[in-house]
Structure 1
Amino acid sequence: MARFAFNLPDIGEGIAEAEIVDWHVKVGDRIEEDGRIADMMTDKATVEIESPVSGTIVELAGEVGDRIAIGSPLVVLEVEGELPDEAAEAPAPKAAAVERRIETETSDASDEKDARPQPGGEKTRASPEPAPPEPVQKTESASAGAEREERPAKVLASPAVRKRAKDLGIDLGEVRPAEDGRIRHSDLDAFLSYGAAQGYAPAGAARADETIKVIGLRRRIAENMAASKRHIPHFSYVEECDVTELEKLRADLNANRGGKPKLTLLPLLITAICRALPDFPMINARYDDEANLVTRHGAVHMGIATMTDAGLMVPVIRNAQAQNLWQLASGIARLAEAARNGTAKSDELSGSTLTVTSLGPLGGVASTPVINRPEVAIIGPNRIVERPMFVPDGMGGERIEKRKLMNISISCDHRVVDGYDAAAFVQAVKTLIETPVLLLA
């Protein structure tokens, strides 16, 4: 038997390290060649790492959430026969330390209750005889006695009344019984009626506190958002758009789409953005603030902020300016599904030049989205609402009509984009949206 240290391979993208998001093996497991070892995350893409050999896992290079440098040991396996050319006879100190920690944690978890400190500082297993139960019983009795001394006289109530009070978040000690000192359902009703008049609201059942380790995509999102707000001086601008005619056009196109994908508002909005961008090149740009370079892109690589179970991801539609409505709709649906089920490729999750973020029906009245650094702008359509509006009646006057309205929000990097340019760009998009025939010209 020989030991083989499997180093984390170069996953690509010029990365220097990757984060462990899931182990598929543990120490002592037998793994076959090409078997799954771990899932590693690099720049929002999760990569599955497979074993190049068959063997038994003897060491792991960290825990979920740890970051491992490219080229450093990921696992150490015990293999039979000759070692592969890239095998390492001696495991790296880090891997050995991990193994020792794992063994220590395992033994400590099982021995913690029985181990006692010795003069030499080491732990030894105590006698297998169970400790006498009297001290525990005495402690519990003393504690219970102290509680009884602190509490007022016992509250009389049936189990059903107690359960109802607990569900309602009512302290029975605050309820005054109507007769014979026993609290009944009618007393709870009276307490609730009185409490409502006094502004009292029963507390809901409290959940247990939960501590969640911030790892994987959630940690990457946190780091990116913090860097964006720390480095970029944001400003936001919001404009109201009348989308009544746009929604009519969308309904007509969907009614006659045949086998084409159903259109949402997003492909129409992206088309309007792409039509307006040539006159505002500073919006479709990326800013390298370390080199003090702004790259104004000719092609529009549109990022689509997508909510997944793991967190927010931004798949990218390449050359959005060259695609028609149906191609955009198909691309949006495919990339969103790939992001949600974890099959999106690395190049589909990077390289955007401008991002659109939408909460759909939950879009709210206005939003101030955070820029997807190093881009310099992000656009957010908000919820469509119906309101009465004054519109021309065709005879020189006005009439009141129910119209569909939507706010468009944009956040910009004020180091690159001036407020006037942002407002003018949104106005250009508004013109296209409110005259949707221009989108098909």
Structure 2
Amino acid sequence: MGLYTITLPDVGEGIAEAELTEWQVAVGDEVAEDDVLGTVMTDKAAVEVPSTVAGKVVWLCGEPGDVIAIGDKFIQIEVEGQGNDTAAPAKAPEPQAASGKKEDVTGSEAPSEEAAETPAKVDTSAPAPAPAPSAAPTDKPKNGSTVRREPLAKGERPLASPAVRRRAQDAGIDLRLVGGSGPAGRILHEDLDAYLEHGPVTGRGGGGRLPATGMREVKVVGMRRKIAEKMAQSWDRIPHITIVEEIDMTALEELRATLNSEHGTERGKLTILPFVMRAIVNAVAAQPEMNARYDDEAGVIHQSDAVHIGIAAQTPAGLTVPVARHAEAASLWENAAELTRLAEAARTGKATREELSGSTITITSLGPLGALATTPIINHPEVAIVGINKMAVRPMWDGEDFRPRKMMNVSCSFDHRVIDGWDAAVFVQKLKKLLETPALMFVEE
């Protein structure tokens, strides 16, 4: 048998290090060639690291949250034959048992045979505790198990049979507040009887709500850490100015409904976003300083002729910003199709580094959850972001009467270091005009 060391591979584009976000294997696992060993996160994209050999995992380089340099040892595998590493396997980190206590592993002193064979001494000099009253079955352990006397924290799942769960649900009882006297703290029918008679496991009567006492530590790793760093960088470096404007979307919604009715089956349904993208393309043609990236360290603004629109998207891993490239050259339906493709890639974690970088201006929207107004944070190093808020029917005065109109607010933030308030207001008014009179978007100027 030999030892084979796999190093963290070069993930491209000059990346010097990556953050370990997840292991797919553990020490002792058997792996085959091409099996995924773990996942690392670069500045934006998640990258899976495959195995190049088959064998048994004997060492892992660290735990999620650790930053690893490209080329450093990533994992060691015991293989048939000589392997590629003549050194002894590195000492693995001490695993933890489910209870949170460290187990003895290789590298720690093993207990002696005498200690292993000799049972622990029991102090019989102390008087035995008095038996619990029969009226409170939650105080009486079953099968030598320990009675659970404290309520479970939010999110913990109590042990109980389906019949007990059904009975508790019918009675409106939160099983987290019921003491479990069965094996491993399992809740029995008599425990429910005791709860109904004596109240929650803490001894408080009346069945009232108990104060929450749980506390958990959640390590900020992977995508969540990148989001935190990006938001802090944007807020620390960019002095934001935000303008909120009300827009009458009635005409655009009528146009959208007509296009979907006539072409939706063969071309796909249009949402509002492709129209907003077209409006941005037209607006930045007149104000190219909005479609730019500011290198604040070099003191240089890079204005782009191409309009690469970032679309802020919520995914199970957190907020990502996939990029629809060359929106200026795409039709409504092409932009709609690209949005659908990018959203799926981001949601499944398959978006590439190229698809998550290079935007020149960003759109952010909370969809139906949006509020009347938001204050979007600029996607550094861009200089502008367009926020789409919730659409609602409101009574609007047309000079003669109040009439129902479909209204939506846009919230646009700008980098006040390079965008003056007047220019920002001109840009917002241009967006307003285009969205309220959508035919103008398709008129060549």
Question: What is the one-letter code of the residue matched to 1:389?
Answer: M
Q: Residue 96 of structure 1 is aligned with which of 90, 100, 104?
A: 90
1:256 alignment partner, SS class: helix
**Equivalence map 1:46-195=2 (5 Å):** 46-83=46-83, 87-90=84-87, 96-97=90-91, 99=92, 101-102=93-94, 109-110=102-103, 126=115, 128-132=118-122
Name the CA shift for 1:220/1:429 in 2 (closer, same or farther; >3 Å): same
Question: What is the one-letter code of the residue matched to 2:30?
Answer: R
1:317 maps to 2:333: no
The CA distance in 2 between the partners of 1:309 and 1:384, in whole Å, is 25
Name the CA shift for 1:389/1:7 in 2 (closer, same or farther; >3 Å): same
1:217 maps to 2:223: yes
The match for 2:44 is 44
The CA distance in 2 between the partners of 1:300 and 1:139, in whole Å, is 79
* Runs of 5+ consecutive residues of structure 2 not aligned to the other structure: 133-167, 178-195, 198-207
Q: Residue 385 of structure 2 is aligned with which of 333, 354, 378?
A: 378
The CA distance in 1 between the partners of 2:262 and 2:101, in whole Å, is 68
The CA distance in 2 between the partners of 1:33 and 1:66, in whole Å, is 25
1:288 maps to 2:281: no
The CA distance in 2 between the partners of 1:204 and 1:431, in whole Å, is 55
Whether the 8 Å CA contact 2:235–2:377 is kept in 1: the answer is: yes
The CA distance in 2 between the partners of 1:46 and 1:20, in whole Å, is 10
The match for 2:143 is none
Residues 372-408 of structure 1 deviation map (CA, whole Å, 9 limit, x = unaligned): 111111110111111111215xxxxx23211111111
The match for 2:242 is 236
Name the CA shift for 1:403/1:105 in 2 (closer, same or farther; >3 Å): closer
Name the CA shift for 1:317/1:57 in 2 (closer, same or farther; >3 Å): same
The match for 1:2 is 2
The CA distance in 1 between the partners of 2:268 and 2:230, in whole Å, is 33
The match for 1:436 is 438
The CA distance in 2 between the partners of 1:417 and 1:110, in whole Å, is 59
Shift of 1:14: 1.5
Residues 287-334 of structure 1 deviation map (CA, whole Å, 9 limit, x = unaligned): 111111110111110000011111111110000111111111111111
Name the CA shift for 1:48/1:425 in 2 (closer, same or farther; >3 Å): same
The CA distance in 2 between the partners of 1:344 and 1:359, in whole Å, is 21
More helix by share: 1
2:389 alignment partner, SS class: strand
The CA distance in 2 between the partners of 1:165 and 1:306, in whole Å, is 39
Worse-superposed segment, 298-307 or 206-215: 206-215
The CA distance in 1 between the partners of 2:338 and 2:79, in whole Å, is 46
Name the CA shift for 1:280/1:165 in 2 (closer, same or farther; >3 Å): same
Question: What is the one-letter code of the residue matched to 2:90?
Answer: A
Q: Residue 420 of structure 2 is aligned with which of 415, 418, 421?
A: 418
Name the CA shift for 1:37/1:140 in 2 (closer, same or farther; >3 Å): farther
Question: What is the one-letter code of the residue matched to 2:433?
Answer: T
Q: Please give the TM-score of this superposition, normalised by the length of structure 2.
A: 0.76
Question: What is the one-letter code of the residue matched to 1:8?
Answer: L
Question: What is the one-letter code of the residue matched to 2:332?
Answer: L
Question: What is the one-letter code of the residue matched to 2:22?
Answer: D
Whether the 8 Å CA contact 2:95–2:103 is kept in 1: the answer is: no
Whether the 8 Å CA contact 1:5–1:89 is kept in 2: the answer is: no
1:21 maps to 2:21: yes
Shift of 1:82: 4.2
The match for 1:345 is 352
The CA distance in 2 between the partners of 1:309 and 1:207, in whole Å, is 28
The CA distance in 2 between the partners of 1:382 and 1:65, in whole Å, is 35
Q: Residue 334 of structure 2 is aligned with which of 327, 333, 339?
A: 327
Shift of 1:438: 1.0
Identity %: 47
2:231 alignment partner, SS class: helix
Whether the 8 Å CA contact 2:2–2:85 is kept in 1: the answer is: no
Name the CA shift for 1:166/1:352 in 2 (closer, same or farther; >3 Å): closer
Worse-superposed segment, 27-36 or 408-417: 27-36
Q: Please give the TM-score of this superposition, normalised by the length of structure 1.
A: 0.77
The CA distance in 2 between the partners of 1:139 and 1:285, in whole Å, is 78
Q: What RMSD over aligned residues (CA atoms) do the two structures have, in Å?
A: 3.1
1:49 alignment partner, SS class: strand
* Runs of 5+ consecutive residues of structure 1 not aligned to the other structure: 113-120, 142-159, 170-183, 186-201, 393-397
The CA distance in 2 between the partners of 1:60 and 1:377, in whole Å, is 43
The CA distance in 1 between the partners of 2:223 and 2:130, in whole Å, is 47
Whether the 8 Å CA contact 1:35–1:51 is kept in 2: the answer is: yes
1:89 alignment partner, SS class: coil
